[in-house]
């Protein structure tokens, strides 16, 4: 761990690892899609997560996906409103 970084507990570390691994499972077309729930369940099964941990992981991944989609939409709206100049 680098100095100045907060300690992460196992649950946070698992969610970060899952987010990174599962980000490769999104459909890519006209827009980047959400991570399929089946991929989340498969990842949890491969990592031997119990039912409660799998439910928590699904909620976290869904929230992160929603946050990512909202950020992408806001960026698109800004680029559209400014003609691609990013507010400059």
Non-local CB neighbours of 47 within 8 Å, separated by 6+ positions: 14, 18
Whether 4 shows a pLDDT value over 70: the answer reads no
Q: How far apart are CA 10 and CA 75, in angstroms?
A: 32
What is the separation of C-alpha 21 from the centre of its chain, rounded to a whole number of angstroms?
10
pLDDT digits 0-9 by tens, 21-67: 999 998 877 677 899 999 999 999 999 999 999 999 999 999 999 99
Q: How far apart are CA 88 and CA 6, in angstroms?
A: 35
Using an 8 Å Cβ cutoff, are 11 and 18 in contact? no
Average pLDDT of span 1-15: 73
Non-local CB neighbours of 54 within 8 Å, separated by 6+ positions: 40, 41, 44, 45
State the pTM of this model. Answer: 0.75
């Amino acid at each position: 761990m680098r100095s100045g970084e907060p300690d992460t507990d196992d649950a946070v570390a698992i969610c970060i690892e899952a987010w990174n691994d599962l980000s490769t499972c999104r459909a890519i077309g006209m827009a980047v899609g959400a991570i399929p729930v089946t991929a989340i369940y498969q990842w949890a099964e491969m990592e031997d997560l119990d039912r409660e941990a799998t439910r928590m992981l699904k909620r976290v991944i869904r929230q992160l996906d929603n946050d990512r989609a909202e950020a992408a939409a806001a960026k698109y709206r800004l680029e559209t409103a400014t003609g691609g100049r990013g507010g400059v």
